[in-house]
Structure 1
Amino acid sequence: MIVVLAYLIVALFAPVIARYGESQVFPEAFAPWSAAHPLGTDQLGRDVLTRMIYGARNTIGIALVTTALSFTIGVSLGLTAALNRGRLDQFLSRMVDVLMSIPSLIFSLMLLSIFGASVTSLIFIIAVLDSTRMFRLARATGLGVVVMDYIEVAQMRGETTGWVVRHEILPNVLPPLIAETGLRFCFVFLTISALSFLGVGIQPPTADWGSMVRENATLITYGDITPLLPAAAIGLLTISVNFVVDWFLHKTSGLKDEK
């Protein structure tokens, strides 16, 4: 939690923490580590430490927005399908099966090459593809709730489908959905970084950890570890979020540690 909180503080207060501007260029490219540039400069002469700080804001921010949109789409459709078992459930389930049968990274590359590598396209495409996992979990957990008597009572009162989903079903299936959302954030975060590394994710001059690895990869041949730092930042955040998700799932499952 401390590590995740530190990342969030850096992302929120990036303009205050960073010494230079996100796209500020200095005369010397690939400058060595120094007091003026603690992590050196990149191939264009931009301060690497500053780019990493702003990269936290851009990469984490876009991943959070994408995960929230994925949660909204997947959970709303999944619980609606569980409540209205019939043609709607069959249609949505078969559409999800089709999307899940295609490798998500390859599909994302194809769609981004068609619609353009803008932030809006990136968020929407990844959110739609990732919402299939949320749909499957929401539908599976929702099927165990919709058979309860209080769901039938709410329907007999004349409540709408949206009201029943929000007030009766969602509160009873929220813990596993929240845990899955944390895991989905990790996958979304890694997907965005991978797409940026391949050149179709977050576009320059916006700082992003995935693109920073690609831009400074040349330094590895000279024994410089600078390109490994944004990769390490990606790995550390992913591991930390997984630990938090495991802890939350353990606490909400009602299991007790054996003394």
Structure 2
Amino acid sequence: MNYFVIGYYTLLIGASCLAAYYQARTAFLLLFSLTLGSFIMGIIGGEPALWFVTVSAGVIALAAGTSYAFREFLVIILPDEMSRNVKGAPLTASFGLFVVMTYAIAGLFAPVIAPFGEAEVISTAFAPADAQMLLGADQLGRDMFSRIIYGARNSVGLALLATAIAFFFGAVAGLIAATKGGWFDQAMGRVVDVVMSIPSIIFALLLLSIFGTSTTTLVIVIGVIYSPRVFRLSRAVAGNIVVMDYIEAAKLRGEGTWYLIRKEILPNSTAPLIAEFGLEFSFVFLLVAGLSFLGLGIQPPTADWGSMVRENATLVSFGEITPLIPAGAIALLTVAVNFIVDWMLYRSSGLKE
């Protein structure tokens, strides 16, 4: 047993005892559970398993510290009302906001941040990382780091545009259907049922095979596929509002459909709709990445994270983790958006800590 193992268990047991002495129950349960788990992992995996736990704990601590600092930064720079809202946000939501802001900066300033162009060939195929190429080269000799930065603009930007289109048409149709009712509501409901009965990936592959794989076609197809989901939610939310007394009073005053939607229904359904936008973005983003991985999404030479995973997948066989970096970027953004959505749903539910 070396000094690392001795120090590892000494630190955990000492921290657990301090937490128990100061009656910090949550910290004690966490630390002692980690101690017991480390004993088991140490017996099974030896020192490498303990190093894995140490590195993982360090990464989590770094993420928590970054989230806390970023939340305090937002509290200082934002206006009073927004500052109060952000101050009560959990660290997970702060982490999500930090990740989203980082991706936004990378996408907006990609030509400035990336050292090379997204389609610029600067080396040989699968060249290793060096001082010039931080992540090495892809199968054509293009800089992987530059293509990942440009991928933030292309992948996220296209997913955001497709989500906005799906959300606009789905939300408008759902609000109109809930307000007017009658034959329009029934007809839209049946159309939505038919579209949602087809799996998204299969429906997208079918439509893209028929109409082509241009960027415009891709955005329209994804908008058509995901607008029924938004329709269902907006119809359900608005359906609970149109039966309220103030809606009936507005109808008796002679107000029209668009007035009811703009002035009465939409302001009272904003929170769940915004949360749904975040969820839909996650689904759309994953669909775009999946289609690109299959070769029917964003087309070469445009940088896209899904296609980058496919193009460099052979490196995994040689022990290289380069193809996992764009896959990790996809997963990280999806998790971050879901953290933010969870916080917004918590706030819109009216629950208080």
Q: Could you tell me which of 116, 121, 126 is aligned with 2:212?
A: 116
**Which residue is equivalent to 1:5?**
101
Moved over 6 A (4+): none
Q: Does 1:60 align with 2:171?
A: no
Report the TM-score when normalising by structure 2: 0.71
Q: CA deviation at 1:152?
A: 2.7
Letter in structure 2 aligned against 1:69: I
Letter in structure 1 aligned against 2:195: L
**Which residue is equivalent to 2:334?**
238
- 1:1-259 correspondence to structure 2 within 5 Å: 1-257=97-353
* SS of 1:16 mapped into structure 2: helix
- Higher share in helix: 2
Instruction: Confirm or deny: 8 A CA contact 2:315 2:323 kept in the other structure.
Output: yes
Q: Which runs of 5+ in 2 are unaligned?
A: 1-96
Instruction: Confirm or deny: 8 A CA contact 2:106 2:149 kept in the other structure.
Output: yes
Letter in structure 1 aligned against 2:208: L
- Spell out, residue by residue over 1:115-172, the C-alpha distance to the aligned partner (whole angstroms, 9 max, x if none): 1001111111111111111101111111111112322333344433222212211111
Q: Which runs of 5+ in 1 are unaligned?
A: none
- C-alpha RMSD over aligned residues: 1.0
CA–CA separation in structure 2 for the residues paired with 1:162 and 1:48: 49
CA–CA separation in structure 2 for the residues paired with 1:202 and 1:113: 14
CA–CA separation in structure 2 for the residues paired with 1:222 and 1:256: 51
Taking CA–CA contacts closer than 8 Å with sequence separation of 6 or more, which of the two structures ends up with the larger relative contact order? 1
- Spell out, residue by residue over 1:157-195, the C-alpha distance to the aligned partner (whole angstroms, 9 max, x if none): 443322221221111111111111101100000000000
Bigger CA radius of gyration: 2
Q: CA deviation at 1:196?
A: 0.2
CA–CA separation in structure 2 for the residues paired with 1:220 and 1:45: 17
Instruction: Confirm or deny: 8 A CA contact 2:123 2:137 kept in the other structure.
Output: no
Letter in structure 2 aligned against 1:73: F
Percent of aligned pairs with the same residue? 60
Q: CA deviation at 1:26?
A: 1.8
CA–CA separation in structure 1 for the residues paired with 2:123 and 2:151: 22
